[in-house]
Amino acid sequence: MSRRFSLEGRRALVTGANTGIGQAIALALAEEGAQVTAAGRRSCDETVERIAAAGGQGDQIRLDLADPMAATGLFAGAGYDLLVNNAGIIRRADSVDFTEADWDDVIDVNLKAVFFTAQAFGRELIARGASGKVVNVASLLSFQGGIRVPSYTASKHGVAGLTKVLANEWAGKGITVNAIAPGYIATNNTEALRADPERSKAILERIPAGRWGDPADIAGATAFLCSPAADYVTGAVLNVDGGWLAR
């Protein structure tokens, strides 16, 4: 039987894994056989418990990527060969009112931390001549402008660019680098949109699938990109959006 989607024998670090998309990704990787470290600035107890209940292997670490260099010491000798950069934050305000603090906070977590975490991961793999996979969580706003989220939009455009430059540099070293661009997913980040009847209606009318996405929709695509089935996929930004960008 083919094992092209199996992650047995792999070790993964998933950032922002205490809830939402990150939690779903951690669970999906564990279900495919990976040993998963759930990293979050809050406790990942629930994620680890769900992994164990499903028969998987998981542990956790506290990791606050408000310090963009917080993960750089995690990889040396630790045996990780899968990295999912999922942690992210969002701040909403009209662009004329947007503050420097809100700009810097979002860019630090969503872009600067993504690069320096991936850099540390890549350095370790290259030093030991090992192959591996990086999956960054981008956004529809890697392609569009959005409304009232200037730093988030800038950061996610940046994530798409970083994904491509790292893919170019590392493909010959056996490391693939891809990104997932989630559509409108029912998470904490979209709570304000879902609570606004007019905005929620307008969003749903634009989505051909006719529903908000579920974190599990992102998890399956991420597991694919981490698997041997995606060994020749690198530099891709995969839209998982219910058809939003097609309309």
Task: Say if CB 11 and CB 39 are below 8 A apart.
Answer: no
The token pair that represents 143 in the structure block: 């392609």
CA dist., res. 56 & res. 36, Å (int) = 9
Distances (CA, A) of 238 to 54, 63, 117, 126, 208: 27, 26, 21, 25, 17
DSSP β-bridge partners for residue 118: none
What would the two tokens of residue 6 be?
């199996």
Give every strand in the sheet of 175-182, ordered side by side: 57-62, 35-40, 11-15, 82-85, 132-137, 175-182, 237-240
With CA atoms as reference, report the closest residue to 111 among 87, 147, 141, 135: 87
Q: Of the listed 80, 152, 184, 232, which one is catalytic?
A: 152
Q: Is 184 a catalytic residue?
A: no
Helix (H) or strand (E) holding 216: helix 215-226
Which residues have CB under 8 Å from 40's CB, separation 6+? Answer: 15, 16, 17, 18, 19, 22, 47, 60, 62, 63, 87
Question: Which residues are marked as active site?
Answer: 152
